[in-house]
Amino acid sequence: MKSQRINLLKIAGILTVLIALIHIGCIVFGGDWYRFLGAGEQMAQLAERGDLYPTIVTSIISAVLLLWAIYAFSGAGLIVKLPLLRLGLALISAVLLIRALGFYFIMPAFPDNSLTFWFLSSGICLLLGLTYTLGLKQRWHSISSKA
């Protein structure tokens, strides 16, 4: 019986879609979701007042996450091969790992975010970054550098 390896980029894509959906949930359900997820009281209050800032920021984050998921699914061989696939996946991995390990340095820029938010989101970024990195390593030869 042939052993089948787990496709880590497929897992990375699924996790990234779930995280994007959670962000979209903040837009749909408002202040309570921003509070629960630790985005800070200011973001929650802005959302409750109908200010566009939380919606715009969260929409951009969601769109980036969905783009990353598409790259993960492409690298996993589930959809058409996207341009600059290796480079894109390497950059996604790097961004996630830098965000995970560098949170201490960006915390002062967002003083309203809870410590729980920083540890939880950094842990998620670390897990996701490692999944993208190991998934890229796993599929490196399957993803030719030629489009």
Question: pLDDT tens, position by position, for the chain (147 residues)?
Answer: 455 689 999 999 999 999 999 999 999 999 999 999 988 899 999 999 999 999 999 999 999 999 999 999 999 999 999 999 999 999 999 999 999 999 999 999 988 888 888 999 999 999 999 999 999 999 999 997 654
Q: Can you give the residue ranges of every domain in the chain?
A: 8-139
The 10 Å Cβ neighbour count of residue 38 is: 17
- Provide the pLDDT for residue 124: 97
Residue 83 DSSP SS3: coil
CB crowding 49-75: b at 16 or more within 10 Å, else e: eeeeebbebbeeebeebbebbbbbbbb
The 10 Å Cβ neighbour count of residue 24 is: 18
